[in-house]
Structure 1
Amino acid sequence: MTIPVNRPAVRARDVGLGAAWGPTGPANAITDVAGVRVGHTTLTADAGPVRTGVTVVLPRPHRVFDHPVFAGCHRLNGNGELTGLEWVRESGLLTTPVALTNTHSVGVVRDALVAHEAAQRGPDEEFWTLPVVGEIWDGRLNDINGQHVRAEHVHAALAAARGGPVAEGNVGGGTGAICHGFKGGIGTASRIVADEHGTYTLGVLVQANHGARSRFTVDGCPVGALLGPDRIPLPGKGATTGRRHAEGSGSIIGVVATDAPLLPHQCGRLAQRAALGIARLGAVGEHYSGDLFLAFATGNDALPGDHATDPAPLAAVRMLPDARISPLFTAAVDATEEAVLNALLAARTLAGRGGVIAHALPAELLRRVLSEDGWLRHGS
């Protein structure tokens, strides 16, 4: 089923966090970057059980295949997959939507994006495409080997893609996610960056399925230690396999968007800074974690695609001087941190495969822990 786009009732700022964070766009979401749209298809069923889905991020209001965006990427730890990155590195361009799903459904999602482009072009047009598809291993809660994601679910997510508020938590590719030992999922946030020369928007969307409870830190407060298994149980050992999962196993995919006129190497630098956002919360890029980040910039509007029938001899581009880029770095760090917290606070407790239960992080309990230790008064 497709989950309608609606803003969750509680987000990080609602519990008193973010006194030092900068201003956001109207939805505090990646969709605050003009033209960016997000769609989800969420799959849940008792048989299996199924706890998975697809999330898509569309960089432009028109087809990015014909009007690509400059892009760059970063790998904190590579125990994961984000397809198409070799061409992003080689060309400096993102030419497809970005889709997020589970590890064992990457292939079908990639193929569906190819079919979607082919359908728009007609049966006789020759073209090639290398879709960008990221994954998390949601097999603690989801029957991942059942490969329940099908092409129709990708097409539904594409059709559902909208601007404005973005559904978070147990939706789309984050349906079966576990983050820092709590129920995780999709989260998003944005920042407005302004100086005397101009104003830009930056947004982040994460598929958060990473991190150890023992290291989870919020604004310097050791929340994970204070909310140990005695207060909120960790996801139990899967009865189906009996496998014990190392703390910190999992993955996070982060997508950073901005309307600033950045060049590809600057996008790569922006993607690096997103990794600092998850580090603030205690992630360290553990061995069994795939921590992959992609950043794209829409500030150059008329980039010609490789497949243009009559390409211009020259393409004029703009560039934000490096001397002005540091505020965007700060925004990427802050928005990534907030996006992960939004994913945690929007998520709902979920039971899954083999009786495993991933418990949500209750907003009021987080607020109480932070207040008792003084962080909301002094640390934010």
Structure 2
Amino acid sequence: PRVEHPQSFDLIARYPKLGDRSKRNDDRYVFLEALLASRGKFLVFYQGNTLRDGKEIPPAVVVEELVDCLAESFLRDSGPSGSATFAEHRKKMAERLVVRHPLQPFSRKYFSGADQRLCSFGAEYCRAAQTKESGVRRRHAFLPAPLPPVAADPVSISLGDLSRYLSHPVRWFLENRLGIFLQERNREFQDREPIHLDSLEKYQLSRDLLAMHGEGLASPEILLSRWRGEGRVPLGQAAHAVFAEIRDTVRPIVEQVLAYGPGPADRELPPLRREIHLAQDVALHGELHGRYPSGHIYWTNSLLHGKILLPVWLEHLFLSAVAPTDQRCETTVIGRGSDKGTAQVLRFSPVPEAAGVLHDLASLFAEGLNTPLVFFPKSGLAFARAMCNAQGSEQEKIIGACAKAEEEYRGSEFAPGEGEDAY
């Protein structure tokens, strides 16, 4: 029966009188009418277990009362002592009346014949039950052995390809070597005006505002009018609320960019294009932007996780290996802090053996063309940070770091993890 939840202004519920209608009593009467209208059989179906963990769920009150009535209407079975309690008699009556069906249609209970009330005529379910009883099927490896090398000629790797590969090695292997694309490239256009922006839409707006070096923070009307024309923010005063939230996120990042960035006298240097011979048959070529005499600077409105820091670290290694004379071999990374309204700043110093590190990464790139590399940037960075900040024995550090990496890999109900990626 339904449970009534009266409104606070319902005077009938506040001052009940004899003869008032009750939805709960109406439902009980409907059940009684269905029982009296039956002639040959009366079947009652209800959900007996939860879908999440399989815990038993009691039936409705009227069903429980029906079982109690049937137990009281028949003689009790005699137990070993000559008499059985009502609880034992009711339990036996419920076991005789209630048929519990398994969750899966291919359960062996439907085909074993142990319970004559459980049967199935599905041939495909019978084959599935037989396969399950015979043992777990052996899973075949997606790639039993590495693929043959692409070419034996000297390899020239671009810095961008190396960065994209290390950011997602499995995706690079599937798309560039096997031609398998698991995600749609074309995103559907929205056919409604935005009312509530999701995290991705807020990120894109804050990225545009950050690209303007905070010029729209003081006078947002021009920027809001452009965003309204593009259909990216709600109409009316709701747009100002969205802008205030984005402004609070971007402002501390802009302040750090002005503090650690180039001074008024510094001018941006032209892009640096170089090629480094890492070995006899391996070369790395790339192009660096955002160069200033004081060093290389990079800022973003995202958290400084593995997929953000990895490309910047590769560019810093390339900068240290080239060692240009017109700028310092230092890199400053500015991003959003973990706390609301804060920013995070990281500074990379020159790496003496940058060419050797790039050679090792290029070797992984060559290996990844033949077989997928198991590497997860976000989880790996979480593991490394936990190892650096942990205290205790080496085993305790490893256990704690593995827990942090697993947490980053699995994610949570608020943020997806790396394990939820289609690749």
| TM-score bucket (shorter structure) | under 0.3
TM-score (norm 2): 0.20
Higher strand share: 1
- Which is helix-richer, 1 or 2? 2
CA radius of gyration, larger in: 2
